[in-house]
Structure 1
Amino acid sequence: MIRIFRHYIPKPLLFLGIIECLLLLAAVWAGMTIRFSQIGIREVSFIDYIPEISAFVVTVYVVMLATGMYQLEACRDFRISILRLVVSMFIALLTISVILYMFPDIGLWRSVVFYALSFSAFGLLIIRYIFLHVVDIRQFKKNVLVLGAGERASRVRASGIGQGSHVRFSDFLRMTNLETDVEGAVPYESVGLLRDYVAKKHIQEIVVAIQERRGTLPMDDLLDCRMNGCSVTDSTSFIEQQTGTVNLDSVNPSWMIFSDGFGGAKSADLLIKRLFDITASLLLLFLSMPILMITALLVKTSSHGPVFYRQERVGLGGKTFDVMKFRSMTVDAEADGVPQWAKKDDVRVTAVGKVIRTTRIDEIPQIFNVLKGDMSFVGPRPERPFFVEKLGQTIPYYHERHRVKPGITGWAQLNYPYGASEEDSRKKLEYDLYYIKNYSVFLDFLILIQTVRVVLWPDGVR
């Protein structure tokens, strides 16, 4: 894993992204060279066309990121790569056309765009095929040694296995006879000098997952390994890196106090975030006005009740506000006055409501909440006071999610299906805490871009 702007990115995907950016650059340059040669221009200066080339590369790469081309399932399944590549090229063509219309000074001819996208699609298919069938993904994995074989070590192992794993566990060292959760663990006293063992096994990282550290933590040995270049990580930080979550079973107040993060956003970041929220809100309201009008008409004519649905939610600092959405349920959805979780195939959802919930159109009116300042585009989803009070009593650190403004989309929404139970809320909180801990404008940008993937390929919508 490589950390960029406080966010962890898998090393294989970073290398793949760099290679494909270079391919996009070569594709647009080849397209320009061919088109210019057709009209008799033989010598073309690369420097003279830096804005055009940059616009093409950035646009296509952002579209690929938005359509999920850099999700691990797309990189490991060639059929998914082909499907998403086709969608990416189509959206890229539309996006570039809009950009060229809005900024006519960018001298990127339509014929050049056609050549460049054709070369890009062909080259990307080849790169993805090589990446999937030729490159040994295991070579990108970090060799890890885990100190401990108890419950903590078991959670570490669970976070580092599966197709999406970026590590390879060399061994688990059992520190005491009471640690029995990991089968095949090696007794610590049998490995000899830890420094020599690390060198022999080519260990790159040691993860400390000891259940009870008092009297069992080999401080001198760990310091020796650290001074020889081997990184040392605690189990909670390791799980955070691998899963993009703050594991509630491992975290404790001291880790939250001393770990890197949870310091709150800088004033400059908050200003940029607010300016973006205002600008994007006004732009999206203007662009989505036809959708808003059609949806309002359909909601009003298809079922009895108001067009919009207002519901009290908990926001920044625990203050409540009314969130606005298109009504997607019947007016008597909670006739008994008791709040209920949304269910799969919920009978309370109307026919039009099912469509607008699946396509996320019901969320569009929340732009008014963003414009007002109660919400942001990116942040934890705001919950109802009834559930906040209930969940706050059973889930540790639940109220910490109110340290930032709630959002329309967020890290939890991208990585976990719709939450409709206490256990779902607990899992989503782990993603929310990761977002709060590692907040940056860069992470907001990634979340906004990848939200397009969720809209194109809805998962967990209810």
Structure 2
Amino acid sequence: MIRLFKHYVPHAVLLLGLIDFALLMLAAEAGWTLRIWQLGGGIDPESGRLPHMLTYAAAVQVAMVAVGVYGVEAHQSLRFAVARLFVAMSVGILLLSLVFFLVPPVSFWRSSLLYATLFGLGLLSLVRLLLGRTLGGDAFKRRVLVLGAGPRAARVEALAGAEGAGFVVAGYVAMNDGPVVVARAVNRAEIANLPAFIRDLGATEVVLALEERRNSLPLNDLLRAKTAGVHVNDLSSFLERETGRVDLDSLNPSWLIFSDGFSAGRRLSGAAKRMFDILVSLVILLLAAPLILVTALAVKLESRGPAFFRQRRVGLYGQSFELLKLRSMREDAEVGGVAVWAQENDPRVTRVGAVIRKLRIDELPQAWSVLKGEMSFVGPRPERPQFVADLEARLPYYAERHMVKPGITGWAQINYPYGASIEDARQKLEFDLYYAKNYTPFLDVLIILQTLRVVLWPEGAR
């Protein structure tokens, strides 16, 4: 993987993205050229239409990122990839329409845009037909040697067998640090020269999955491997990179303290984020006002009670604030004010509520909290004080998620389906800690784009 602005991007995804951008530029040129040829005119100088081509390619690729064209499933199934490409092209045309309205000099003729879109769809589908298996295969995966053969090493083995894994395990070495769980591990005593063993396996990375490091860590061998160009990683850092979350089972406080992340130098990016929040929340409140009012009327007509409801939530630094949402449950959903986890097919949800939850319309009034500065568009979801007190007692490091401002959407929301249990809260906490640790404006943009995928395919809404 390559690290871009503290976030890891698989080499295969980056390569495919670069190929896609080049093909979209080619499609834009082909669409332009075909239309000029139909009109019987000469071909304009390339420099004159370069801004148009760049605008087309950039807008369509942004749409591709937003709808999940570069997700794991797209590498596994050609049908899935082509279906997402169709959606991406549709979203891209809508985005281009907005860009052309705001910046007329970069607009396409409608016929040229149609031809470019058809060419682009064909070329992008073709490259996935030709390279899909290769990009998702072992050729682009790192070869990893795991030091350890216990439960920690077994976790690496399970992760390597999952769909979309970015690495293959070249071998396991039992370091006599506990019970052996991985049967195919080679005992350290049988390896005369560990650095040579690593080289012969073609491993480019060593992962320390030891159960007990004292008297088990081969420092001299690791130093030789490191100086030979082999990357040496501890299990927590390895799992963070491969899963996009901070793994609580392998975590210890010293790793959080000494690892890269939780940077305090965020004044400039924080100011930019606040300006973005103010601008976009104002736009949303103005544009969505009619939709909010119509939905509020529908809520009132279906069931007794107010159309909006306010609820105490825990925000930045553990300070509570009042969250505003459109009501999607019956007024008596919580008897006596006792907080209750939402359930799958929750009987308390009204018919209108089910629809607005699927479409995320009930979240729109939260733009008011964003405008006031109590929330941001991107960040961990704010929980109720009763849940927070319980979760802090049960889950380690839960309070650390409150070191960043809560958000309407977040890293956990786009990577984990809706959950309403302690185990779900634990899984989402791992994603929230990853966001808090690795926050950059780049990650915020990625989350905002990927939120469109969650809205279009709302499998996790309850």
Conservation of the 8 A alpha-carbon contact between 2:25 and 2:57: yes
- 1:268 — aligned with what? 268
Conservation of the 8 A alpha-carbon contact between 2:12 and 2:136: no
Which letter does structure 2 place at the counterpart of 1:63?
Answer: A
Change in Cα spacing, 1:135 to 1:343, as seen in structure 2 (3 Å) is closer
The correspondence of residues 73-152 of structure 1 with structure 2, limited to 5 A, is 73-133=73-133, 137-152=137-152
3-state DSSP of counterpart to 2:337: coil
Which letter does structure 2 place at the counterpart of 1:238?
Answer: F
Question: Which of 106-115 and 417-426 deviates more?
Answer: 106-115
- 2:8 — aligned with what? 8
3-state DSSP of counterpart to 1:364: helix
Conservation of the 8 A alpha-carbon contact between 1:156 and 1:238: no
Cα distance in 1 for residues equivalent to 2:60 and 2:286: 25
- 1:457 — aligned with what? 457
1:338 counterpart = 2:334: no
The correspondence of residues 37-436 of structure 1 with structure 2, limited to 5 A, is 37-133=37-133, 137-176=137-176, 178-264=178-264, 266-436=266-436
Cα distance in 2 for residues equivalent to 1:229 and 1:336: 63
- 2:29 — aligned with what? 29
Q: Runs of 5+ in structure 2 lacking a partner?
A: none
Q: Shift in Å at residue 134 of structure 1?
A: 5.5
3-state DSSP of counterpart to 2:432: helix
Q: Shift in Å at residue 408 of structure 1?
A: 0.4
Q: Shift in Å at residue 39 of structure 1?
A: 2.8
Q: Shift in Å at residue 49 of structure 1?
A: 2.0
Conservation of the 8 A alpha-carbon contact between 2:177 and 2:212: no
Which letter does structure 2 place at the counterpart of 1:22?
Answer: A
Q: State TM-score, norm by structure 1.
A: 0.98
3-state DSSP of counterpart to 1:432: helix
Q: Runs of 5+ in structure 1 lacking a partner?
A: none
Conservation of the 8 A alpha-carbon contact between 2:67 and 2:87: yes
Conservation of the 8 A alpha-carbon contact between 1:328 and 1:350: yes
Which letter does structure 2 place at the counterpart of 1:48?
Answer: G
Conservation of the 8 A alpha-carbon contact between 1:264 and 1:436: no
Cα distance in 2 for residues equivalent to 1:326 and 1:79: 37
Which letter does structure 2 place at the counterpart of 1:262?
Answer: F
Which letter does structure 2 place at the counterpart of 1:289?
Answer: A
3-state DSSP of counterpart to 2:344: coil
Q: Shift in Å at residue 232 of structure 1?
A: 0.3
Change in Cα spacing, 1:211 to 1:333, as seen in structure 2 (3 Å) is same
1:84-107 CA deviation, whole Å, 9 max, x = no partner? Answer: 111111222222122212322224
Cα distance in 2 for residues equivalent to 1:6 and 1:314: 27
Question: Which of 177-186 and 55-64 deviates more?
Answer: 177-186
Cα distance in 2 for residues equivalent to 1:265 and 1:306: 43
Which letter does structure 2 place at the counterpart of 1:162?
Answer: A
Question: Which of 170-179 and 249-258 deviates more?
Answer: 170-179
Cα distance in 2 for residues equivalent to 1:30 and 1:372: 48
3-state DSSP of counterpart to 1:324: strand
Which letter does structure 1 place at the counterpart of 2:35?
Answer: R
Conservation of the 8 A alpha-carbon contact between 2:75 and 2:135: no
3-state DSSP of counterpart to 2:370: helix
Question: Which of 153-162 and 56-65 deviates more?
Answer: 153-162
Conservation of the 8 A alpha-carbon contact between 2:177 and 2:216: no
Q: Shift in Å at residue 230 of structure 1?
A: 0.5
3-state DSSP of counterpart to 1:203: coil
1:49-69 CA deviation, whole Å, 9 max, x = no partner? Answer: 222111111100001111111
Change in Cα spacing, 1:10 to 1:246, as seen in structure 2 (3 Å) is same
Conservation of the 8 A alpha-carbon contact between 1:29 and 1:53: yes
Conservation of the 8 A alpha-carbon contact between 2:149 and 2:181: yes
3-state DSSP of counterpart to 2:391: helix
Conservation of the 8 A alpha-carbon contact between 1:52 and 1:108: yes
* CA RMSD of superposed structures (Å): 1.3
Change in Cα spacing, 1:55 to 1:136, as seen in structure 2 (3 Å) is closer
1:130-153 CA deviation, whole Å, 9 max, x = no partner? Answer: 123465611001000000112222
Cα distance in 2 for residues equivalent to 1:288 and 1:29: 37
Which letter does structure 1 place at the counterpart of 2:202?
Answer: H
Question: Which of 5-14 and 289-298 deviates more?
Answer: 289-298
Cα distance in 1 for residues equivalent to 2:23 and 2:414: 28
Conservation of the 8 A alpha-carbon contact between 1:315 and 1:402: yes
Question: Which of 53-62 and 35-44 deviates more?
Answer: 35-44
Change in Cα spacing, 1:136 to 1:342, as seen in structure 2 (3 Å) is closer
Q: Shift in Å at residue 165 of structure 1?
A: 0.2
Q: Shift in Å at residue 40 of structure 1?
A: 3.6
Which letter does structure 2 place at the counterpart of 1:424?
Answer: D
3-state DSSP of counterpart to 1:353: helix
